């Protein structure tokens, strides 16, 4: 009997696993019903795949590439940190796999989408990757959406890398007189853009089927959105085009190091439609679409940042904190050659440049949280980062939210590092705040001396909690005059959140301050008034 039941369970389990696998396979399968011959439903993006395809003129690709050819015996990785031989061999118009979820193919867009200026800055990019970036844009975008392609040659060794490409329709070329870095180069490109929407791309990308419409649609609906595609991977060895995960968003750690991370589980569970946008705390930085007036209104970029790095944090914080939003659109896919090292030099050195740029972002946007940046990146302290007064003025003018707001509303998953617990007395005049478990909070004569203090008067401040063993200071209601008492600690409970405000202790949510009317009145919360003796809680550190 038992054997039969065990067998039945085993059979049911196998059937369930097979059923799940079949379901998943169905869900990822490209849409190829026999009646559908629509190329948009095919799983390969032909050179002119999707609803795109436009004249690329009669550009002599062979002549352009032969101007710079790898010599026999040369290391194909040396100059660009990817396999140049493989890139050159591929040609500029190869077909790549359409990596979108199949449901993306049936999403529709407005017929009157505005056109965009595509801005590509580069410094000594390989000719074959640069050309493939441009060609893929022209071939896989509806012609009416491409206003122009603006190349900003950031003082590459050979001016012809850029100049020759202007033979291709719509392509314009700007050349810097000296090396500026990608940040100032992009601002320069945006400055001559004639489209109302800006699209930024790295110089070694390959856009995929119908990549542009979803992004322009979102920005057209709401000009404060700044949107990115899912960034697929082009192998630096063999240039294979590989699909990236569709469950990732941009994140960072306190050293301001960018990383891809899983979408939080609650958001993942509530995503019933795989074509929906993904909110992201930061963008990778190289590939995004933004309304031009919004870009200008928000202060473009911090043009005192040099060469490479950090500008994506500065832009991301600014967009979120000053009234916009950032999202990744899963129905838009763009491939990018990810490399393991920078193939170009940094005039001031790589590390110093990254520190200068991220320090500027931290100093202008991170408020009191910049301390965690400095703790995570101690070498940043004392390094010069120039004047930030213009950016501070910009932040004030735009009336932006605080970094605390950003953390609470946009990136609550970023853990605030454990602070060192500090034990102290909370002394008011000659009296000390004391408690004997719940329901007995009050002021009493200070009973300790030196390092020896009774537990009842010893408080540990670990923001936002003020604790004594497992109990924490909590308000009983959010209005002025409400009593304060001890409760089991719960850092998520808004009633237990405090922060120091000068000598006072402010309850974070109500904004009111801990008060005790002399002599030894019950602890309550009242309107904060600096200098009020009854609100002054001199901490006396014990360790
Ligand atoms: O001095 C320079 N001048 C330039 O014009 C240095 C670079 N550049 C150009 C360069 O040729 C390239 O087209 O700027 C572009 C970006 O430089 P990469 O490709 O060396 O940067 P990356 O791909 O390693 O870096 C990512 O982070 C950067 C931070 O400053 C930029 O925001 C890049 O645009 C960004 N790339 C992407 O987001 C693509 C996805 C990669 C990821 C994650
Ligand atoms: Mn890149």
Ligand 1 close to Cβ of residue 232 (< 6 A): no
Q: How many CB atoms lie within 10 A of CB 329?
A: 23
Q: Residue 33 has what pLDDT?
A: 35
d(CA 203, CA 5): 62
Q: What is the pLDDT of residue 158?
A: 97
Q: Which residues contact 315 (CB under 8 A, 6 or more apart)?
A: 226, 283, 285, 301
Q: How far apart are CA 234 and CA 257, in angstroms?
A: 22
**Ligand with minimal distance to 334 CA:** 1
Contacts with 58 (C-beta within 8 Å, 6 or more apart), sequence order: none
Q: Is 202 in the pocket of ligand 1 (CB under 6 A)?
A: yes
Interval between CA 288 and ligand 1 midpoint (Å): 12
CB burial of residue 539 (10 Å; 0-12, 13-18, 19+): middle
Residue 311 CB–ligand 1 contact under 6 Å: yes
The secondary structure element, H or E, covering residue 428 is: strand 422-428
Residue 203 C-alpha to ligand 2 middle, in angstroms? 7
| Best of 236, 286, 347 for a ligand 1 pocket test (most atoms within 8 Å of beta carbon) | 286
Q: Does the Cβ of 316 fall within 6 Å of ligand 1?
A: no
* DSSP state, residue 417: P
Contacts of residue 96, defined as CB under 8 A and 6 or more positions apart, other chains included, come to: 44, 45, 206, 208, 241, 335
Q: Which residues of the chain have pLDDT under 70?
A: 1-43, 48-52, 419-420, 451, 541-543
**Does 180 contact ligand 1 (Cβ within 6 A)?**
no
List beta partners, residue 329.
229
Residue nearest to atom 16 of ligand 1 (CA): 202
Which residue has the least CA distance to atom 10 on ligand 1? 122
Residue closest to 432 by CA, chosen among 539, 504, 308, 303: 539
Q: Report how far ligand 2's centroid is from the alpha carbon of 338 (Å).
A: 6
Please write the tens of the pLDDT for every residue from 58-102. 899 999 999 888 888 999 999 999 999 999 999 999 999 999 999
pTM: 0.76
Q: Which helix (H) or strand (E) segment is 234 a member of?
A: strand 225-234
> Which phi-psi region, left, alpha or beta, contains residue 34 (left: φ > 0; alpha: ψ -120 to 50)?
alpha
Q: Per DSSP, what are the bridge partners of residue 123?
A: none
- Residue 123 CA: which ligand is closest? 1
Regarding an ipTM greater than 0.90, the answer is yes
Distance in Å, CA 124 to ligand 1 centroid = 12
DSSP run (H or E) holding 292:
helix 292-297
Pocket lining: 284 vs ligand 1, CB cutoff 6 Å = yes
Strand-pair partners of 467:
460, 472
Quote the pLDDT of residue 413.
Answer: 95
* Cis geometry, peptide bond prior to residue 173 (ω within 30 degrees of 0): no
Choosing from 285, 307, 313, 338 the residue with most ligand 1 atoms within 8 A of its CB, the one to mutate for a pocket test is 285
Hey, whose CA ends up nearest to atom 35 of ligand 1? 286
For residues 266, 271, 276, 277, the Cα torsion angle rounded to the nearest 10 degrees is 10
Q: Structure tokens of 139?
A: 């071939």
**Is 540 exposed, middle or buried, given 0-12, 13-18 or 19+ CB atoms closer than 10 A?**
middle
Q: How far is the CA of 146 from the centre of ligand 2 (A)?
A: 22
If you measure from the C-alpha of residue 480 to the centroid of ligand 1, how many angstroms do you get, rounded to a whole number?
Answer: 53
- Return all residues near 455 (Cβ < 8 A) that are at least 6 apart: 468, 469
- Tokens found for residue 543: 């360790």
Query: d(Cα 217, Cα 208) in Å, to the nearest integer?
Result: 17
- What number does the ligand 1 atom closest to the CA of 185 have? 5
Q: How far is the CA of 284 from the centre of ligand 2 (A)?
A: 10
Residues β-bridged to residue 45: 96
Quickly count helices (H) and strands (E) in the chain.
14, 26
Distance in angstroms (rounded) separating the CA atoms of residues 364 and 395: 8
Nearest CA to ligand 1 atom 38: 286
* Residue 371 vs residues 359, 377, 416: alpha-carbon distances, Å: 11, 10, 11
Nearest atom in ligand 1 to the alpha carbon of residue 308 is 30
Half-sphere exposure of residue 299: CA atoms within 13 angstroms, side-chain side:
23
- CA of 286 relative to ligand 2 center, distance in Å: 7
Q: What H or E segment, with its residue span, contains residue 375? A: helix 370-376
CA of 152 to the centre of ligand 1 (A): 13
Q: Name residue 483's beta-bridge partners.
A: 524
Of 202, 332, 338, 339, best ligand 1 pocket probe by most atoms within 8 Å of the beta carbon: 202
Tell me if 301 sits within 8 A of 311, measured CB to CB. yes
Q: Extract the runs of DSSP E, i.e. beta strands, from 74-163.
A: 96-97, 116-122, 146-153
Whether 193 is in the pocket of ligand 1, judged by its Cβ within 6 Å, is no
Distance 366 CA to ligand 1 centre (A): 23
| Closest listed ligand to the CA of 151 | 1
Cα 227 from Cα 283, distance rounded (Å): 9
Matching residue, tokens 């995929």? 208
Q: Work out the angle between the directed axes of helices 389-398 and 350-365 (0-180°, nearest 10).
A: 40
Predicted pLDDT of residue 26 = 44
Q: For residue 84, what pLDDT is reported?
A: 97
State whether residue 41 is helix, strand or coil: helix
Question: Measured between alpha carbons, how far is 541 from 423 in angstroms, rounded to an integer?
Answer: 6
Ligand 1, atom 30: closest residue by C-alpha: 309
Give long-range contacts, CB 8 A cutoff, 24+ apart: 69-77.
none
């Amino acid at each position: 009997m038992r054997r039969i039941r065990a067998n039945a369970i085993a059979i049911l389990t196998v059937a369930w696993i097979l059923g799940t696998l079949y379901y998943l396979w169905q869900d990822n399968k490209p849409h190829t019903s026999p009646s559908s011959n629509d190329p948009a439903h095919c799983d390969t993006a032909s050179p002119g795949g999707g609803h795109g395809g436009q004249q690329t003129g009669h550009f002599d690709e062979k002549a352009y590439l032969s101007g710079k050819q790898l010599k026999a015996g040369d290391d194909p990785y040396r100059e660009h940190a990817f396999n140049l031989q493989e890139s050159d061999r591929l040609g500029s118009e190869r077909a790549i796999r359409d990596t979108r979820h199949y449901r993306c193919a049936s999403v529709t867009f407005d017929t009157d989408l505005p056109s965009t200026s595509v801005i590509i800055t580069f410094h000594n990019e390989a000719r074959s990757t640069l050309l493939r970036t441009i060609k893929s844009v022209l071939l896989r975008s509806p012609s009416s959406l491409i206003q122009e392609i603006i190349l900003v040659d950031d003082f590459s060794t050979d001016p012809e890398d850029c100049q020759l490409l202007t033979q291709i329709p719509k392509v314009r070329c700007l050349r810097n007189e000296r090396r500026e870095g990608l940040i100032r180069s992009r601002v320069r490109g945006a400055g001559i853009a004639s489209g109302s929407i800006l699209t930024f791309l790295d110089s070694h990308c390959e856009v995929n089927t119908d990549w542009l419409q979803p992004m322009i649609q979102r920005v057209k609906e709401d000009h404060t959105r700044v949107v990115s595609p899912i960034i697929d991977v082009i192998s630096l060895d063999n240039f294979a085009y590989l699909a990236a995960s569709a469950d990732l968003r941009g994140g960072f750690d306190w050293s301001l190091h960018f990383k891809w991370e899983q979408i939080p589980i609650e958001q993942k569970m509530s995503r019933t439609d795989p074509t929906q946008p993904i909110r992201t705390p930061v963008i990778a930085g190289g590939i995004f679409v933004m309304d031009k007036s919004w870009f200008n209104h928000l202060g473009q970029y911090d043009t005192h940042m040099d060469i490479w790095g950090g500008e994506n944090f500065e832009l991301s914080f600014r967009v979120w904190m000053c009234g916009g939003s950032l999202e990744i659109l899963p129905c838009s896919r763009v491939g990018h050659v990810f490399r393991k090292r920078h193939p170009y030099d940094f005039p001031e050195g790589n590390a110093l440049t990254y520190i200068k740029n991220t320090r500027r972002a931290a100093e202008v946007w991170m408020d009191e949280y910049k301390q965690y940046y400095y703790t995570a990146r101690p070498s940043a302290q004392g390094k010069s980062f120039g004047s930030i007064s213009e950016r501070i003025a910009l932040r004030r003018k735009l009336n932006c939210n605080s970094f605390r707001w950003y953390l609470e509303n946009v990136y609550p998953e970023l853990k605030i590092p454990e602070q060192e617990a500090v034990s102290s007395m909370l002394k008011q005049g000659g009296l000390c705040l004391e408690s004997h478990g719940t329901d007995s909070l009050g002021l009493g004569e200070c009973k300790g001396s030196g390092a020896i203090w009774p537990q009842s008067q010893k408080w540990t401040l670990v923001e936002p909690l003020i604790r004594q063993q497992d109990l924490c200071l909590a308000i009983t209601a959010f209005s002025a005059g409400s009593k304060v008492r001890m409760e089991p600690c719960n850092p998520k409970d808004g009633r237990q959140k405090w922060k120091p405000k000068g000598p006072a202790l402010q309850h974070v949510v109500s904004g009111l301050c801990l008060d005790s009317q002399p002599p030894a009145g019950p602890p309550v919360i009242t309107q904060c008034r600096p200098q009020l003796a009854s609100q002054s809680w001199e901490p006396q550190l014990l360790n």
